[in-house]
């Protein structure tokens, strides 16, 4: 086996492209698996100064370098010009860092930060690869696909956008902790919830979702006392105080025993373990984790995501009956109330949705990707 044959050789891999959890978490999982195969491997992370990225990478033993980079977020000419300047600076910084660290291979994780580094790697004749966690290629990967040696995708549908001779469908990549999830009782006890009561988990990704936060309190108010269920609501740090005030106003300071509100959760595998049903956005990381664990879901895609990629992510589950997809502009308090009420009481349907979701999981995704990367680096 390739990984075992070369497990004592030093390998240097440069990983670039963070900013959001959908890019960072899979990258960390890949890097750790490389270390399993090649213990003396050197991981160099090339990223930005964004808070989430810096916080997550600081907990690893990776080398950490930053470059200037920025996505093309709108159509204003001055904004595009500014992005182009930063990307150009990031490109020359990447040239310097590649010459400094001399990586065997450069892996771009799909965020805007990876474009300067991967292009610099191509020009310096380094082996290069990219990974796409979403159903459709992001703008950076769409541009980079012509220049790289290998392309790894999480979903079969993405193969329609990539060259056959470079493409590898591997499945979703998730944090290692998810593969050793605790029991439902343990997950619920972790949050001081009732250990035997059905639980609905609500969250909006790492940043939270104002739209989901705004409607869910009214839904919980409608359901309160009418169904034996409890709610774990993760608001996002910036939304927490506002949601807490609104909660107190709606429930008039009454203690609600079946509702737990938190601003942020680092150990999401406990939250997933606690839940029978998830209500969330449809970012790449969320979809990957739902698939890995086989949890039924109600997905409310972020309507302003680039190229509407969250809706396309959600449809992967919605089209096979593993999730119910509700566009944000169609959110309705009474309809969502009735939907949760009917789902949580229908154990047979919940199990079927979970099974359909789990069927999409590829348990050897990380291992297969790492083997391919090692083989590429040794060619």
117 and 156 together in one domain: yes
- pLDDT value, residue 180: 83
Closest CA to 323 of 303, 343, 347: 343
148 and 209 together in one domain: no
Cβ atoms of 38 and 120 closer than 8 Å: no
69 and 109 together in one domain: yes
63 and 212 together in one domain: no
- pLDDT value, residue 255: 72
Longest alpha-carbon distance in the chain: 67
222 and 160 together in one domain: no
185 and 323 together in one domain: yes
Residues 6 or more apart from 303 whose CB is under 8 A from it? 310, 311, 327, 328, 329
Query: What is the number of domains present in the chain?
Result: 2
Q: What is the CATH number of the domain that holds 25?
A: 3.40.50.2000
188 and 152 together in one domain: no
- pLDDT value, residue 39: 87
25 and 151 together in one domain: yes
- Classify each residue of 48-68 as buried b or exposed e, where b means 16 or more C-beta atoms within 10 Å of its C-beta: beeeebeebbeeeebeebbbb
- pLDDT value, residue 8: 44
CA distance 25 to 167: 22
Cβ atoms of 201 and 278 closer than 8 Å: yes
Residue reference for tokens 């902790």: 177
CA distance 199 to 232: 7
- pLDDT value, residue 179: 81
CA distance 323 to 298: 6
Using N-to-C axis directions, what is the helix angle for 240-251 and 210-223, rounded to 10°? 20
Tell me how many degrees the CA angle 45-50-54 measures, rounded to the nearest 5.
Answer: 50
CA distance 355 to 208: 27
192 and 163 together in one domain: no
> Where in the sequence is the domain holding 329, given as residue range(s)?
178-358
- pLDDT value, residue 9: 60
Per-residue pLDDT tens, the chain, 379 aa: give them: 344 444 446 789 999 976 677 788 899 999 999 999 998 899 999 987 777 777 888 888 889 898 887 666 656 777 777 778 888 898 999 999 999 999 999 999 987 778 899 999 999 999 999 999 999 998 889 999 999 999 999 999 999 999 889 999 999 999 888 888 899 999 999 999 999 999 999 999 767 898 999 999 999 988 887 788 999 999 998 999 999 999 888 887 667 888 999 999 988 999 999 999 999 999 999 999 999 999 999 999 999 988 899 999 999 999 999 999 999 999 999 999 999 999 999 999 999 999 999 999 999 999 999 999 999 998 8
The 3-state secondary structure of the chain reads CHHHHCCCCCCEEEEECCCCHHHHHHHHHHHHHHHHHCCCCEEEEEECCCHHHHHHHCCCCCEEEECCCCCCCCCCHHHHHHHHHHHHHHHHHHHHHHHHHCCCEEEECCCCCHHHHHHHHHHCCCEEEEEECCCCCCHHHHHHCCCCCEEEECCHHHHHHCCCCCEEECCCCCCHHHHHCCCHHHHHHHCCCCCCCCEEEEECCCCCCHHHHHHHHHHHHHHCCCCCCEEEEECCHHHHHHHHHHHHHHHCCCCCCCEEEECCCCCHHHHHHHCCEEEECCCHHHHHHHHHHCCCEEECCCCCCHHHHHHHHHHHHHCCCCEEECCHHHCCHHHHHHHHHHHHHCHHHHHHHHHHHHCCCCCCHHHHHHHHHHHHHHC
pTM, two decimals, is 0.90
- pLDDT value, residue 74: 59
- pLDDT value, residue 75: 64
Closest CA to 171 of 280, 292, 268: 292
- pLDDT value, residue 3: 41
Residues 6 or more apart from 193 whose CB is under 8 A from it? 199, 230, 232, 260, 274
218 and 294 together in one domain: yes
CA distance 153 to 369: 10
- pLDDT value, residue 73: 63
128 and 235 together in one domain: no
50 and 75 together in one domain: yes
- pLDDT value, residue 72: 61
CA distance 114 to 90: 9
């Amino acid at each position: 086996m390739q990984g075992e044959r070369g497990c004592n050789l030093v390998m240097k891999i440069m990983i670039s492209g963070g900013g959001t959890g959908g890019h960072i978490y899979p990258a960390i999982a890949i890097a750790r698996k490389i270390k399993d195969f090649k213990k003396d491997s050197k991981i160099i992370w090339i990223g930005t100064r964004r808070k989430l990225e810096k916080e997550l990478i600081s907990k690893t033993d990776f080398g950490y370098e930053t470059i200037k980079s920025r996505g093309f977020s709108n159509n204003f000419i001055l904004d595009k010009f500014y992005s182009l300047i930063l990307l150009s600076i990031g490109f020359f910084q990447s040239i310097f860092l590649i010459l400094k660290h001399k990586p065997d291979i450069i892996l771009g994780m799909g965020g805007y930060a990876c474009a300067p580094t991967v292009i610099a790697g191509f020009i310096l004749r380094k082996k290069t690869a990219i990974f796409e966690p979403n159903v459709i290629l992001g703008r950076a990967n769409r541009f980079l696909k012509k220049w790289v040696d290998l392309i790894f995708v999480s979903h079969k549908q993405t193969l329609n956008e990539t060259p056959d001779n470079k493409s590898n469908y591997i499945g979703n990549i998730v944090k290692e902790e998810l593969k050793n999830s605790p029991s439902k009782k343990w997950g619920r006890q972790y949050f001081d919830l009732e250990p035997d009561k059905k639980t609905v988990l609500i969250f909006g990704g790492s940043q939270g979702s104002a739209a989901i936060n705004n409607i869910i309190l009214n839904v919980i108010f409608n359901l309160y006392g009418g169904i034996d269920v409890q709610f774990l609501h993760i608001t996002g740090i910036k939304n927490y105080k506002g949601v807490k005030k609104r909660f107190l106003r709606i429930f008039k300071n009454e203690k609600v025993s079946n509702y737990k509100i938190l601003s942020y959760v680092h150990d999401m595998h406990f939250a997933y373990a606690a839940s029978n049903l998830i209500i969330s956005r449809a970012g790449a990381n969320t979809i990957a984790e739902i698939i890995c664990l086989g949890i039924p879901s109600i997905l409310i895609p972020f309507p302003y995501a680039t190229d509407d990629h969250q809706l396309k992510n959600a449809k992967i589950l919605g089209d096979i009956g593993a999730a119910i997809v509700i566009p944000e502009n169609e959110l309705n308090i009474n309809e969502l109330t009735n939907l949760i009420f009917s789902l949580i009481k229908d154990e047979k349907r919940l199990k079927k949705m979970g099974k359909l979701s789990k069927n999409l999981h590829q348990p050897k995704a990380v291992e297969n990707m790492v083997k391919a990367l090692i083989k590429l680096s040794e060619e």
